[in-house]
Chain A
């Protein structure tokens, strides 16, 4: 163990310490068994779920609570698919009524092609839900001003995107993400866009508190192996950030002594 590396505590959101800085979704897996195996391999404790109509023709086994034990994972209901403040608040309340907790991953989409957030509607929903006693983790754009306002609204965490949901484009704006992290007090979790382990590592190296991903695991050829890789990448990125990287320069500097060469 390096003695000069600063000690790192757990990620704490809304007063709740989490076992991992990686948060994962549960969508788009080929099977429920594969989903559960991948989540376990990732090491994530906080796991997002969506609220949808029961399919009355296909039966109850579709419900994810038949596959994920709320005693093993902290289930975070989302408002994915909502396009208005009103809908997001409605879905959040339905999620809370399931009786697991009063937390919500708030997501209000503004555009179908990019799934970029409607930040004004997100802010409106965040204010209502915080007033209603929710712990709100708000998905948002990589926009500092919105991030600051979401913090002011009382969000427990602010979650700017790395790139569009499900795109796998990786971290497109490291500078904006770093600036959001520098300016906020609440945890900053980068949510969406990570494609592979290097993306997760690079994201964590910006100093953010955590990463949330779904498609990068579910759409991998081997989701369980990718989940393990992502767990390692998040830890590696965090430790590299804490270790403090060397300055980069566009000229070589020899690693071996220049003195003592033979004549």
Chain B
């Protein structure tokens, strides 16, 4: 796993692209296929999406990741992520 990425190596739209250059990690993010730079941590993935870790809950391959696990968990090819938060509801 890699937790100290050089920001300059992040490709595409802040690290995440839909149809950017061939990337090593193909993931499914909230139901959408996305390609991401290999070696990102989940915390870096959230950062690249402009999301605050304290405001979202991450489910990776049907397992919830605790906030303390985000920095040390790598994004791997084939991962399926659900990023959820609270919205209005009754």
Residues of A at under 8 Å CB distance from B? 25-29, 35, 48-54, 56, 59-60, 62-66, 75, 77-78, 80, 90, 93-95, 97-99, 165-166, 192, 212-215
* Pairwise interchain contact A94-B64, C-beta atoms closer than 8 A: yes
Contact among B50, B51, B54, B89 with A48 in the assembled complex (CB-CB below 8 Å): B89
* Pairwise interchain contact A25-B90, C-beta atoms closer than 8 A: yes
* A93 and B64 in contact, given A54-B30, A63-B55, A66-B55 (Cβ under 8 angstroms): yes
Chain B residue numbers with a CB within 8 Å of A35 are: 88
- Closest chain B residue to A192 by CB distance? B90
Which residues of chain B from 67 to 84 have a CB within 8 Å of any chain A CB? Answer: 67, 82-84
User: Total number of A-B contacts with CB less than 8 angstroms?
Assistant: 103
* Pairwise interchain contact B86-A64, C-beta atoms closer than 8 A: yes
Q: Interface range on chain B: under 10, 10 to 19, 20 to 34, or 35 or more?
A: 20 to 34
* Pairwise interchain contact B89-A26, C-beta atoms closer than 8 A: yes
Residues of B at under 8 Å CB distance from A? 29-32, 49-52, 54-57, 59, 62, 64, 66-67, 82-90
* Pairwise interchain contact B29-A52, C-beta atoms closer than 8 A: no
Contact among B62, B66, B86 with A51 in the assembled complex (CB-CB below 8 Å): B86
* Pairwise interchain contact B87-A64, C-beta atoms closer than 8 A: yes
* Pairwise interchain contact A98-B86, C-beta atoms closer than 8 A: yes
B34 to chain A, nearest CB (A): 9
Q: A50-B86, A54-B30, A97-B64 are in contact. List 16 more A-B contacts (CB 8 A).
A: A25-B88, A26-B87, A49-B88, A50-B88, A52-B84, A52-B89, A53-B31, A53-B82, A54-B51, A56-B30, A60-B50, A64-B88, A65-B85, A94-B84, A97-B66, A99-B54
